[in-house]
Amino acid sequence: MKKLLFISALVLGFAVSANAQTEKTTKTTTETTTTKQYKPIDRNTVAPSALEKIGTKYGGYSILEAYQATDGEYKLVVSKDNKKSTAYFTSTGEFLKEE
Protein backbone atom coordinates (compact mmCIF):
# COMPACT_ATOMS: atom_id res chain seq x y z
CA MET A 1 0.00 0.00 0.00
CA LYS A 2 2.86 2.35 0.83
CA LYS A 3 4.47 1.60 -2.51
CA LEU A 4 1.21 2.33 -4.36
CA LEU A 5 0.84 5.66 -2.57
CA PHE A 6 4.50 6.50 -3.26
CA ILE A 7 4.17 5.65 -6.97
CA SER A 8 0.96 7.70 -7.24
CA ALA A 9 2.68 10.70 -5.65
CA LEU A 10 5.67 10.25 -7.95
CA VAL A 11 3.49 10.12 -11.09
CA LEU A 12 1.57 13.19 -9.92
CA GLY A 13 4.87 15.01 -9.33
CA PHE A 14 6.07 14.24 -12.85
CA ALA A 15 2.77 15.41 -14.33
CA VAL A 16 2.91 18.71 -12.46
CA SER A 17 6.54 19.34 -13.36
CA ALA A 18 5.83 18.56 -17.01
CA ASN A 19 3.18 21.28 -17.06
CA ALA A 20 5.52 23.71 -15.34
CA GLN A 21 8.00 23.58 -18.21
CA THR A 22 8.03 26.84 -20.11
CA GLU A 23 7.90 26.88 -23.84
CA LYS A 24 10.75 28.50 -25.62
CA THR A 25 9.43 31.23 -27.85
CA THR A 26 11.38 33.05 -30.46
CA LYS A 27 10.56 36.55 -31.50
CA THR A 28 11.57 37.78 -34.89
CA THR A 29 11.71 41.40 -35.81
CA THR A 30 12.21 42.98 -39.15
CA GLU A 31 13.94 46.28 -39.60
CA THR A 32 13.09 48.43 -42.54
CA THR A 33 15.59 50.99 -43.63
CA THR A 34 14.88 53.57 -46.20
CA THR A 35 17.63 55.09 -48.23
CA LYS A 36 17.57 58.79 -48.80
CA GLN A 37 17.57 60.10 -52.28
CA TYR A 38 20.21 62.76 -52.82
CA LYS A 39 20.10 65.16 -55.75
CA PRO A 40 23.28 66.72 -57.09
CA ILE A 41 23.66 70.40 -56.28
CA ASP A 42 26.27 73.02 -57.06
CA ARG A 43 28.99 73.17 -54.41
CA ASN A 44 28.37 76.89 -54.02
CA THR A 45 24.74 76.36 -52.97
CA VAL A 46 25.67 74.70 -49.68
CA ALA A 47 24.55 77.05 -46.90
CA PRO A 48 27.42 79.29 -45.69
CA SER A 49 26.64 78.57 -42.03
CA ALA A 50 26.81 74.83 -42.77
CA LEU A 51 30.06 75.27 -44.72
CA GLU A 52 31.60 77.02 -41.73
CA LYS A 53 30.85 74.05 -39.44
CA ILE A 54 31.90 71.56 -42.13
CA GLY A 55 35.20 73.43 -42.45
CA THR A 56 36.04 72.80 -38.80
CA LYS A 57 36.07 69.03 -39.39
CA TYR A 58 37.31 69.02 -42.98
CA GLY A 59 39.60 72.04 -43.11
CA GLY A 60 42.02 71.73 -46.02
CA TYR A 61 39.73 69.36 -47.90
CA SER A 62 38.22 70.32 -51.24
CA ILE A 63 34.61 69.54 -52.06
CA LEU A 64 34.47 67.49 -55.25
CA GLU A 65 30.74 66.77 -55.33
CA ALA A 66 27.75 67.99 -53.33
CA TYR A 67 24.33 66.40 -52.95
CA GLN A 68 21.27 67.32 -50.92
CA ALA A 69 18.35 65.21 -49.68
CA THR A 70 14.78 66.44 -49.48
CA ASP A 71 15.15 66.96 -45.72
CA GLY A 72 18.13 69.26 -46.30
CA GLU A 73 20.83 66.76 -45.35
CA TYR A 74 24.08 67.15 -47.27
CA LYS A 75 26.23 64.43 -48.78
CA LEU A 76 29.66 65.76 -49.71
CA VAL A 77 32.45 64.00 -51.53
CA VAL A 78 35.64 65.58 -50.24
CA SER A 79 39.27 65.04 -51.11
CA LYS A 80 42.65 65.73 -49.54
CA ASP A 81 46.00 64.34 -50.71
CA ASN A 82 44.24 62.18 -53.36
CA LYS A 83 42.12 60.52 -50.67
CA LYS A 84 38.37 60.69 -51.27
CA SER A 85 35.79 60.48 -48.50
CA THR A 86 32.03 60.82 -48.44
CA ALA A 87 30.72 62.77 -45.47
CA TYR A 88 27.14 63.37 -44.38
CA PHE A 89 25.96 66.52 -42.59
CA THR A 90 22.67 67.94 -41.40
CA SER A 91 21.28 71.04 -43.05
CA THR A 92 22.93 73.10 -40.30
CA GLY A 93 26.35 71.51 -40.83
CA GLU A 94 26.36 69.03 -37.94
CA PHE A 95 28.47 65.97 -38.77
CA LEU A 96 26.52 62.69 -39.11
CA LYS A 97 28.83 60.04 -40.54
CA GLU A 98 31.66 59.34 -42.96
CA GLU A 99 32.05 56.56 -45.50
Better-scored residue on pLDDT, 63 or 32: 63
Strands (E), the chain: 38-41, 62-69, 74-80, 83-89, 95-98
pTM reported for the whole predicted model: 0.62
Structural domains of the chain, ranges and CATH numbers in brackets: 40-98 (3.10.450)
Per-residue pLDDT, averaged over 28-50, amounts to 85
Per-residue pLDDT, averaged over 47-65, amounts to 89
Q: How far is CA 92 from CA 14, 29, 42, in A?
A: 67, 34, 17
Better-scored residue on pLDDT, 66 or 9: 66
Q: What is the pLDDT of residue 3?
A: 72
21/64 Cα distance (integer angstroms)? 63
Residues 66/53, Cβ–Cβ less than 8 Å: no
What proportion of the chain, given as a percentage, has pLDDT over 70?
76
Let me know the angle formed at the C-alpha of 70 by 57 and 43, rounded to the nearest 5 degrees. 45
- Confidence band, pLDDT 50/70/90 cuts, at residue 15: low
